[in-house]
């Protein structure tokens, strides 16, 4: 990933603090999840539009009618998913640093998920920032 100094915005939605996550694999995870959500909504026939184009109700507030979702809504869904992964990785590394026993993350141990992501693999992305 090549980032220009002071650019640091998400290439898809313009999220301002993207540079912080872009230099790790969490940025890639966010973009992958965002693409998944876009694909899912498009396959379901949901129209994806900018929040500024959402219709207003009688009180002048914007809302998402049936069959329409805003780009910001998808951005927030993707961010929540990335943050959950970050917190799961933080929890594992923190326990390791404190010398506490390491257990499997809740989704793997209790929910039967099988895609375990090793925390140390999420930070090993090579990135350069132009000055």
Could you tell me the CA-to-CA distances from 79 to 27, 61, 86, 100, 126 in Å, in that order? Answer: 10, 24, 10, 29, 22
- Cβ–Cβ < 8 Å for 18, 9: yes
pLDDT band at 7 (very low <50, low <70, confident <90, very high): low
What's the rounded Cα separation, in Å, for the pair 75 and 71? Answer: 6
Cross-strand bridge partners of residue 3: 129
Q: In which domain, by residue range, is 83 found?
A: 2-130
pLDDT at position 39 is 97
Assess whether pLDDT exceeds 90 at residue 116: no
Q: What is the pTM of this model?
A: 0.71
pLDDT per position as a tens digit, 75-114? 999 999 999 988 988 888 899 999 998 888 888 889 988 8
Specify the number of domains making up the chain: 1
Query: What number is the average pLDDT over the span 58-84?
Result: 92
Coil, strand or helix: which one is 8? Answer: coil
């Amino acid at each position: 990933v090549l980032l220009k100094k002071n650019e640091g915005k998400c290439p898809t939605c313009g999220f301002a603090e993207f540079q912080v996550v872009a230099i790790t694999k969490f940025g890639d995870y966010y973009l992958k999840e965002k693409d998944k959500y876009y694909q899912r909504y498009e396959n379901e026939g949901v129209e994806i539009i900018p929040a500024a184009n959402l219709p207003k109700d009688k009180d002048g507030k914007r809302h998402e009618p049936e069959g329409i979702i805003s780009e910001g809504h998808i951005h927030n869904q993707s961010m929540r998913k990335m943050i959950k992964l970050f917190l799961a990785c933080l929890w594992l590394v923190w326990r390791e640093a404190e010398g506490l026993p390491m257990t499997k993350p809740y989704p793997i141990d209790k929910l039967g998920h099988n895609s375990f992501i090793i925390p140390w693999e999420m930070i090993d992305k090579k990135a350069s920032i132009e000055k």
